[in-house]
Chains A and B, each alone.
Chain A
């Protein structure tokens, strides 16, 4: 059964490796270029030399910022694409072409057949998506070195991209079991993956450890944690008594745009700024939580696919 499962996984694996190679080409080329440009402009050694990197950083960001976003999106979608590619056709292709009537009438029970298909596809998926994760980590590392991006901390580790790929795989597999066609399975799978991933991230942020920290500091002053690459989730004001203040209320109290006068007014009224944030140092913890959540939900979707496949029509 292992050979059969691998033979059936081969086309998707070839496609995923081709996809990975193409994405890798883009990422490696852009990564190298970034390094070269940073070296030539002096940005690369700037921090160590103790100089003022502000101008160089801004120059760099204005030039590469517009490219950074689409490429980083590509990076984020790469594990999703691999997961869909593996999961979408797994059952849908059989059901669409009627080959399930061949596969399920051999001397192997349907549960053993499905277990083997899922195990082999899952193993190859983890391998390929770990490669993709390594590639992404390397790419973010180029910017991390220059102090341009804080994303590196969040994306660090191969865990989240692999868990994302497994989640996409599970969702696409169950979509295939339900729609019984490859293209609808991929389409609904893609939409479902995005919706589920966003919902899970919001849920993890709201309810799961590590809980965000809160810091209060005099309004009008820079946060004591500035420059630490924290992820600020919410930001608000409170008065001397500790009551929450709406932005409009603050505006009425100390009208005007930002400036020393406003800062003095805020300080005189004892208004504090309150940030809820996740420190960058917790990236690993958060990656673990997020991955675990993704894997649990992936198991639920695989359960749906299992139930639908084992139930005779």
Chain B
């Protein structure tokens, strides 16, 4: 497994507050990563550190083995789409593409033209006259025609209507699959990523709360439903979220092996359900782990 993006003890402090703290993540090559967290959790900070727009206050972040933005080679392998989709408003669409062509040696004009056509963007139109959605499309076309190996997208779909969002996600995923790109999406709405991502990084107030392969995360969490038990006792399993009615207790647990207690009905959880449970309980932290099987279960759990 090649790691394309690796943060080690990464931290970013603005005066007294830490926007990101003690963040360690490794993004394997070819993955589609959902970087999720509530507003202000540090998603943009992490991405900006990864492209060198921010410098770390602690730790380090490496992209393809080199420090972020350490040279034209590293810069050229990373495509970045900032949250506000910055473009030069005085430029025409064609001039924006020329900008991309002049600043990127691996630029693929045919690919850029194809995206323009697909999005129906008029080359002569000034960027300032484009709609928000069109600007997102143009910015994405710029990032893709650069032919990056790692694509970092900060809230890419935020200002698109659901239909365009759906289309764009599909187109993007086709491209990603065809070229074996690694993609990191950030979003505070998981719904738009749940169907496409296969790796999840959840941030809460500047720290990594949960990280890992989505399949492994889903396999490692269960929903237990049983008669009222407050406080709940579930043996070695870690309770992420508990809710009680008069007669019934529902638990979302991180399992440490099979659940033997027959009084619990065991259900699978959905990714969105899982993420929401963690987001509602930012104090519950799960350290990233390389593989579920490799580490003894009792060594993996940390409660903050």
A and B interact: yes
Inside 8 A of B121's CB, which chain A residues have their CB? Answer: none
B60 to chain A, nearest CB (A): 13
> In the bound complex, what is the Cα–Cα distance between A233 and B7 (angstroms)?
65
Question: Interface residues of B toward A: which range?
Answer: 20 to 34
What are 23 A-B pairs with beta-carbon distances under 8 A?
Answer: A1-B102, A3-B102, A4-B102, A8-B88, A11-B90, A99-B87, A100-B86, A101-B53, A101-B86, A102-B142, A105-B52, A105-B53, A105-B79, A106-B103, A106-B146, A107-B76, A107-B103, A108-B75, A109-B71, A109-B75, A311-B55, A312-B69, A313-B55
Q: Which residues on B sit within 8 Å (CB–CB) of A1?
A: 102-103
The CA of A98 and the CA of B80, in the complex, are separated in Å by 13
Chain A residues with Cβ below 8 Å from B71 are: 109
Contacts of B54 in A (CB 8 A): 312-313
B55 touches A98 (CB 8 A): no
Partner of B103, one of A98, A108, A313: A108
Interface of chain A residues 251 through 305 with chain B (CB within 8 A): none
C-alpha spacing A8/B98, complex, angstroms: 13
User: Would you call A98 and B88 a contact (CB within 8 A)?
Assistant: no
CB-CB contacts of B48-79 with A at 8 A, as 1s and 0s? 10011111000000000000010110011011
Whether the pair A105, B80 counts as a contact (CB closer than 8 A) is yes
Q: Knowing that A98-B84, A105-B51 are A-B contacts, what are 16 other residue pairs whose CB atoms are under 8 Å apart, sorted by A's residue number? A: A100-B86, A102-B87, A102-B88, A102-B142, A104-B69, A105-B52, A105-B53, A105-B69, A105-B82, A106-B100, A106-B103, A106-B104, A107-B76, A107-B106, A108-B75, A109-B71
The answer to the question of B29 belonging to the interface, with a C-beta cut-off of 8 Å to chain A, is no
Known: A105-B75, A107-B105, A109-B75. A98 touches B86 (CB 8 A): yes
Closest partner residue, chain B, to A97 (CB atom): B86
Known A105-B75, A106-B75: A7·B53 in contact at CB below 8 Å: no
B52, A312: Cβ atoms closer than 8 Å: yes
Q: Is the CB of B104 within 8 A of A107?
A: yes
Query: What residues of chain A lie closer than 8 Å to B82, measured between beta carbons?
Result: 98, 101-102, 105
In the complex, chain B residues whose CB is within 8 Å of the CB of A101: 48, 53, 80, 82, 86
Give the docked Cα–Cα distance between A177 and B80 (Å).
Answer: 23
Within the complex, the shortest CB–CB distance from B99 to chain A, in Å, comes to 5
Interface SS of chain B: helix, strand, loop or mixed?
A: loop
**What is the interface of chain B, defined by CB distance below 8 A to chain A?**
48, 51-55, 69, 71-72, 75-76, 78-80, 82, 84, 86-91, 95, 98-100, 102-106, 139, 142, 146
Counting chain A residues whose Cβ lies within 8 A of the other chain, the interface size class is 20 to 34
Kindly state the separation between the CA atoms of A99 and B80 in the bound complex, as whole angstroms: 12
CB of B102 within 8 A of CB of A312, answer no
How far apart sit A165 and B55, CA to CA, in the bound complex (Å)?
34
How far in angstroms is the closest Cβ of chain A from B57? Answer: 11
What per-residue 1/0 map shows which CB atoms of A97-131 lie under 8 Å from chain B?
Answer: 11111111111111010000000000000000000
A8 vs B80: C-alpha distance in the bound complex, in angstroms? 21
> What's the minimum C-beta distance from B173 to chain A, rounded to whole angstroms?
22
Question: Once bound together, how far apart are the Cα atoms of A98 and B87, in whole Å?
Answer: 8
Query: Top 5 A-B pairs ranked by shortest CB distance?
Result: A312-B55, A107-B76, A106-B103, A101-B82, A105-B80
A107 touching B87 by the CB < 8 A rule?
no
A106 surroundings in chain B (CB, below 8 A): 75, 100, 103-104, 146
Seen from chain A, the residues whose Cβ lies within 8 Å of a Cβ on chain B are: 1, 3-4, 7-8, 11, 97-110, 112, 311-313
Task: Point out the residues of chain A lying under 8 angstroms from B84, CB to CB.
Answer: 98
Chain B minimum-CB-distance residue to A313 = B54
Chain B residues, CB < 8 A from A103: 103
B100: nearest residue on chain A (CB-CB)?
A106
Query: A93 vs B82: C-alpha distance in the bound complex, in angstroms?
Result: 17
Report the Cα distance A1→B100, complex, angstroms: 10
Considering the chains assembled together, what is the distance between the CA atoms of A98 and B84 in angstroms?
8
A28 to B48, CA, bound (A): 53
Contact B87 A312 (CB under 8 A): no
Q: A105-B75, A109-B72 are in contact. Are A4 and B103 (CB under 8 A)?
A: yes
**Among B82, B89, B139: residue with most chain A CB under 10 A:** B82
In the bound complex, CA of A11 to CA of B88 (Å): 12
Interface centre among B54, B76, B98, B99 (most CB of A within 10 A): B99
Q: Separation in Å of the A226 CB from the closest CB of chain B?
A: 57
Which of B55, B76, B99 meets A4, CB within 8 Å?
Answer: B99
Q: How far is the CA of A109 from the CA of B70 in the complex (A)?
A: 8
Cα-based distance from A312 to B87 in the complex (angstroms): 21
CA distance A173 to B73 in the complex (A): 28
B75: which A residues are within 8 A, CB to CB? 105-109
A311 to B52, CA, bound (A): 10
Nearest A residue to B107 via CB reads A107
Measured in the bound complex, the distance between the Cα atoms of B100 and A148 in whole Å is 57
Q: Which residues of B have CB within 8 Å of A110?
A: 69
Residues of A within 8 A of B53 (CB): 100-101, 104-105, 312-313
Contact check, A107 vs B146: say whether CB atoms are below 8 A apart: yes
What chain B residues lie within 8 Å of A4 (beta carbons)?
99, 102-103
- From B76, B88, B103, name the one whose CB has the most chain A CB atoms within 10 angstroms: B103
